[in-house]
């Protein structure tokens, strides 16, 4: 499309806003000129350049998070027309209008569409989602991984901690301490690692409590909404198996 | 054994909830439906099976220890689970999310039904005791009365369907949460098998209702009636 052609088409957006954590929630509507292949981020940038509502009122620009713009970092996750997904890959052409934007509901709001997802990081720390290499001595090179395990781990390693699986999960709430599908999947990822498996029991221990694996209700929404198509329900079942075996071991072998 | 932390207790309680759903509660459901469906092949096999059960030694301990106690535990923890989640199948409209919601609802329905069912059968039986009257004619009489009206038929049909759904879908969930079914395809295939299993149980349960409704048994309760 040539730049000098004036296009009458517009994009309507309805945005849920909040000035600071715990402050009043309000809605504003914006109308921006349509361009081909717009995504939600581009619309937000447009609003940032000219923060005027549909009614002509000049307001504070809407804030949001984004970084990679290619669905790899997960920071632009929000509710778009009621469903959780990444704003950078949400194309206006495939969305119903007005496009309704809301921050995720299961994480504390920082401002407008920005949320604080540090709970996910805390959960990763709780389950020691890493391969321990620091210590008093060099543990040397790890054992070789089979190609099967490698490819299995690759799929799990794609998690970008976006939080979609947690937002959509009926068992995950703002106030409880459910660890959620992403965390269980990371336990599996690191237990599958030959050196990482040295912390296997500690990881399983961390998911065998309140908020742990028993609190999953098997609604399997997590796997439906994961943008990285991570086999979360397989991870959950596998952690189910690992914890079951660990329980038997704790009862009969210790 | 060393002292358990609250986390360990939480884990054990939820695991026990899951286990009791299969054994003994679920196993009893299958047994109960199998025996009751003997009604469709004749009155005598049915009457005899009731007699055998009601004359088991230590029956009250078996009933209390293997049925009532696990059932109460399963229900109590079930309600805790019910209130720990917030269903969202309208927003995230996927089959399994509906199953999750129905699993919780059916559990509550079965609980309500069981209160009614036990109050009209086992409670009077225990109250009057085996010495005063024979269980089989009494229970058959109660069922005759129930299935005379559409109220009773509908209440029982709802209770039966809710129970078979809750059990077969719960069995599927059990296999996943205990790590028996891991792969996606395994989960799907087993899902069909459990659906079939649930269907068979439902047919068994409902056919008993139909049989009672069509052909009430000519038995009068001895006492208390
Ligand atoms: S299976 Fe359901 S309850 Fe479990 S983590 Fe996934 S969405 Fe949540
Ligand atoms: S598992 Fe998927 S949905 Fe969940 S945080 Fe990771 S990438 Fe996002
Ligand atoms: S900006 Fe990184 S996922 Fe959208």
Q: What is the ipTM of this complex?
A: 0.89
pLDDT of residue B166: 98
Give strand ranges (E) for A5-139.
Answer: 10-18, 25-33, 77-80, 83-86, 99-102, 109-111, 114-115
Segment A44-55, tens digit of pLDDT: 999 999 999 999
- The reply to whether residue B179 touches residue A216, judged by beta carbons under 8 angstroms, is no
* Residues across chain B: 225
User: What does the pLDDT read at residue B132?
Assistant: 58
What CATH number corresponds to the domain at position B95? 1.20.1300.10
Q: Which pLDDT does position B151 carry in this prediction? A: 94
Residue B76 lies in a domain: yes
Cβ pair A208:B11 closer than 8 A: yes
Determine the Cα–Cα distance for residues A118 and A124; give it in Å rounded to an integer. Answer: 10
Interface test with A, best of B20, B78, B97 (most A CBs within 10 A): B97
Q: A79 pairs with which residues across the strands?
A: A84, A102
pLDDT higher than 90, residue B121: no
Helices and strands per DSSP (H, E), number in chain A: 8, 7
Residue B223 domain flag: no
What's the pLDDT at A5?
A: 56
Quote the percentage of chain B above a pLDDT of 90. 68
Q: Is the CB of A164 under 6 A from ligand 1?
A: no
| Overall number of domains in chain B | 1
Does the CB atom of residue A61 touch ligand 1 within 6 A?
Answer: no
pLDDT of residue B42 exceeding 70, the answer is yes
CB contact under 8 A, A170 and B179: no
Q: Which domain holds residue B32?
A: 3-214
Place of tokens 């929000």: A78
Q: Identify the pLDDT of residue B206.
A: 95
B121-143 burial by CB neighbour count: b if 16+ within 10 A, else e?
A: bbeebeeeeeeebbbbbbbbbbb
Average pLDDT over residues B37-49: 84
Instruction: Give the confidence band of B129 by pLDDT, cuts at 50, 70, 90.
Output: low
Q: Say if CB A230 and CB A155 are below 8 A apart.
A: yes
B28 pLDDT higher than 60: yes
The reply to whether ligand 2 has any atom less than 6 angstroms from the CB of A206 is no
Nearest to B175 by CA among B196, B157, B159, B193: B193
Burial class of residue A232, CB neighbours in 10 A (0-12, 13-18, 19+): buried
Q: Are B179 and A244 in contact (CB < 8 Å)?
A: yes
**Which residue segments constitute the domains of chain A, with CATH numbers given?**
10-115 (3.10.20.30), 118-131+145-253 (1.10.1060.10)
Question: What does the pLDDT look like over B187-219, one tens digit per residue?
Answer: 999 999 999 999 999 999 999 999 989 988 777
- Neighbouring C-alpha atoms within 13 Å toward the C-beta of A138: 2
Minimum-distance CB partner of A219 among B96, B181, B183: B96
pLDDT higher for A87 or B50? A87
Indicate if the pLDDT at residue B224 is higher than 70.
no
Where residue A161 falls (left for φ over 0; alpha for ψ -120 to 50; beta otherwise) is: left
Whether A139 lines ligand 3, by a CB cut-off of 6 Å, is: no
Q: Which two tokens stand for residue B152?
A: 């009773």
Q: Please tell me which of the candidates B84, B100, B184 has its beta carbon nearest to residue A233.
A: B184
pLDDT at B225: 41
Interatomic CA distance for residues B75 and B130, integer angstroms: 28
Residue B73 lies in a domain: yes
pTM for the full model? 0.92
Q: What is each CA distance from B153 to A19, A24, B148, in whole angstroms?
A: 58, 53, 8
Question: Cα torsion at B50, B170, B8, A188 (round to 10°)?
Answer: 150
- Interatomic CA distance for residues B221 and B225, integer angstroms: 5
Ligand nearest, relative to CA of residue A41: 3
For A28, other C-beta atoms within 10 Å of its C-beta total 19
Confidence of residue B1 (pLDDT cuts 50, 70, 90): low
Which residues of A have a CB under 8 Å from any CB of B?
82-83, 168, 170-171, 173, 176, 208-210, 212-221, 224-225, 231, 233-234, 236-245, 247
Residue among A47, A103, A95, A43 nearest A77 (CA) = A103
Contact indicator for A179, A126 with CB cutoff of 8 Å? yes
Indicate which atom in ligand 1 lies nearest the CA of residue A218: 1
Residue B134 lies in a domain: yes
Residues of B in contact with A215 (CB under 8 A): 14, 84
Distance from CA of A2 to the nearest CA of B (A): 40
For A57-60, which contacts have Cβ atoms below 8 Å and span 24 or more sequence positions? A59/A28, A60/A19
Q: Which chain A residue is nearest to residue B84, measuring alpha carbons?
A: A171
Residues pairing with A52 in the sheet: A58
Per-residue pLDDT for chain A (254 aa), expressed as one digit of tens each? Answer: 445 555 579 999 999 999 999 999 999 999 999 999 999 999 999 999 999 999 999 999 999 999 999 999 999 999 999 999 999 999 999 999 999 999 999 999 999 999 999 999 999 999 999 998 887 888 778 889 999 999 999 999 999 999 999 999 999 999 999 999 999 999 999 999 999 999 999 999 999 999 999 999 999 999 999 999 999 999 999 999 999 999 999 988 88
- State both tokens at B221: 């309760």
Per-residue pLDDT tens over the stretch B93-120: 999 999 999 999 999 999 999 999 999 8
Residue B220 in any domain: the answer is: no
What does the pLDDT read at residue A253? 82
Examine the pLDDT at B2 and tell me if it is beyond 80.
no
Q: Determine the residue of chain A that is closest to B13 in CA distance.
A: A214
């Amino acid at each position: 499309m040539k730049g000098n052609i004036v296009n009458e088409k517009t994009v309507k957006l309805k945005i849920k806003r909040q000035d600071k954590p715990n402050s009043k929630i309000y809605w504003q509507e914006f109308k921006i000129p349509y361009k081909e292949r717009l995504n939600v981020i581009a619309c937000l940038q447009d609003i940032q350049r000219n923060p005027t509502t549909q009614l002509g009122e000049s307001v504070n620009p809407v804030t949001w998070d984004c970084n990679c713009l290619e669905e790899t970092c997960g920071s632009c996750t929000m509710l778009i027309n009621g469903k959780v997904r990444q704003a950078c890959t949400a194309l206006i052409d495939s969305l119903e209008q007005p496009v309704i934007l809301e921050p995720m509901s299961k994480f504390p709001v920082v401002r407008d569409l920005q949320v604080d997802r540090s709970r996910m990081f805390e959960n990763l720390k709780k389950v020691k989602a890493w391969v321990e290499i620091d210590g008093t001595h060099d543990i040397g090179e790890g054992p070789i991984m089979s190609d099967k395990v490698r490819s299995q781990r690759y799929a799990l390693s794609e998690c970008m901690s976006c939080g979609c699986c947690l937002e959509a999960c009926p068992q995950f709430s703002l106030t409880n301490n459910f660890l959620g599908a992403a965390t269980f999947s990371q336990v599996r990822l690191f237990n599958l690692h030959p050196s990482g498996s040295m912390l296997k029991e500690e990881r399983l221990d961390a998911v065998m409590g309140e908020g742990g694996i028993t609190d999953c209700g098997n609604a399997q929404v997590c796997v439906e909404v994961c943008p990285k198509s991570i086999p979360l329900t397989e991870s959950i079942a596998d952690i189910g198996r690992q914890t079951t075996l660990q329980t038997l071991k704790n009862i009969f072998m210790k | 054994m060393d002292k358990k932390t609250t986390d360990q207790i939480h884990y054990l309680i939820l695991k026990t909830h899951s286990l009791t759903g299969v054994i003994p509660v679920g196993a009893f459901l299958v047994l109960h439906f199998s025996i009751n469906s003997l009604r469709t092949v004749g009155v005598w096999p049915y009457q005899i099976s009731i007699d055998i059960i009601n004359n088991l030694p230590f029956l009250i301990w078996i009933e209390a220890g293997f049925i009532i106690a696990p059932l109460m535990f399963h229900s109590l923890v079930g309600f805790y689970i019910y209130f720990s989640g917030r269903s969202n199948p309208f927003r995230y409209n996927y089959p399994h999310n509906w199953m999750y919601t129905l699993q919780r609802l059916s559990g509550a329905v079965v609980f309500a039904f069981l209160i009614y069912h036990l109050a009209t059968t086992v409670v009077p039986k225990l109250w009057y005791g085996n010495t005063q009257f024979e269980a089989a004619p009494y229970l058959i009489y109660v069922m005759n009365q129930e299935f005379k009206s559409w109220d009773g038929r509908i209440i029982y049909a709802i209770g039966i369907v809710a129970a078979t759904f809750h059990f077969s879908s719960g069995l599927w969930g059990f296999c996943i949460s205990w790590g028996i079914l891991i792969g996606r395809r395994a989960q799907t295939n087993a899902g069909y098998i459990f659906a079939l299993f649930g269907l068979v149980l439902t047919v068994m349960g409902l056919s008993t209702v139909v049989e009672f409704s069509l052909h009430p048994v000519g038995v009068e309760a001895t006492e208390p009636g």
